Amino acid sequence: MTALLEVEDLRVAYGKIEAVKGISFSVEAGQVVTLIGTNGAGKTTTLRTLSGLLKPLAGSIRFDGKPLAGVPAHKIVALGLAHSPEGRHIFPRLTIAENLQLGAFLRSDTEGIRKDIQKAYDLFPILGERRNQAAGTLSGGEQQMLAMGRALMSRPKLLMLDEPSMGLSPIMMQKIMETIAELKAQGTTILLVEQNAQAALSLADQGHVMEIGKIVLSGTGQNLLHDESVRKAYLGED
């Protein structure tokens, strides 16, 4: 069976500095796949390239059987690849409801959009309670919920989440991870970049460890969770 996302020998550079150095991986429909690694490993660069925000030096990206070379970012969203970016990037002066509506900017099915906004409120009840509140007044965790809800509004075939727990309190981080687990149970395909390696690998079907732009180790989430080198380097264990 053809993977939903296929990345082959991807290379990406900022000027003369090569940030991603020939990585290959795939994501099957219904899977949660995670990329873990330290800052500067190339994880965020990889997601930005997949979503069309950066142009690769070399390699190929195929999504749902189609090559993404030269496809602009808004058309990649239309194909079904949604990106909830690091730092959230919500629109602070707009309301929660308006932010969610912007996530459906490529859609014209008014009734479907209304139902999906309600789904976002069901997934994140706090957003429903504050739907008319300016997004900039939300806490960091609530803004992360909004960013995820907005990404889901495009009805993606694959949802990319970049550092969803970054800067959150332990309680809020747990809520976000529980939501990702709920999305997984609903059959959502997810590519997750996350510094909390234990949380990410616990959720993941497959994981890839990145170091300085390369994938140095791959395996099931559970195998990587119990791999001695991963435990020492990323789980803080001796």
> Measured between alpha carbons, how far is 138 from 140 in angstroms, rounded to an integer?
7
What pLDDT was estimated at residue 151?
92
Reported as a pLDDT band with limits 50, 70 and 90, residue 152 is very high
- Residue bearing tokens 């996350």: 194
Q: With 60 as the cut, is the pLDDT of residue 175 above it?
A: yes
Is residue 156 scored above 90 in pLDDT?
A: yes
Q: What angle do CA 136, 141, 144 make, to 5 degrees?
A: 75
Could you read off the pLDDT of 52-105 as tens digits, one per residue?
999 999 999 999 999 999 999 999 999 999 998 887 689 999 999 999 999 998
Average pLDDT, the chain: 92
Would you say residue 185 has pLDDT above 80? yes
For 224, other C-beta atoms within 10 Å of its C-beta total 25
Q: Which domains does the chain have, with CATH numbers?
A: 5-234 (3.40.50.300)
Q: pLDDT digits over 211-226, tens only?
A: 999 999 999 999 999 9
Q: What is the largest CA-CA distance in the chain?
A: 54
Alpha-carbon distance of 205 to 33, in angstroms, equals 6
Cα of first residue to Cα of last residue in the chain, in angstroms, is 40
Residue 119 has phi, psi (to 5 degrees) of -60, -40
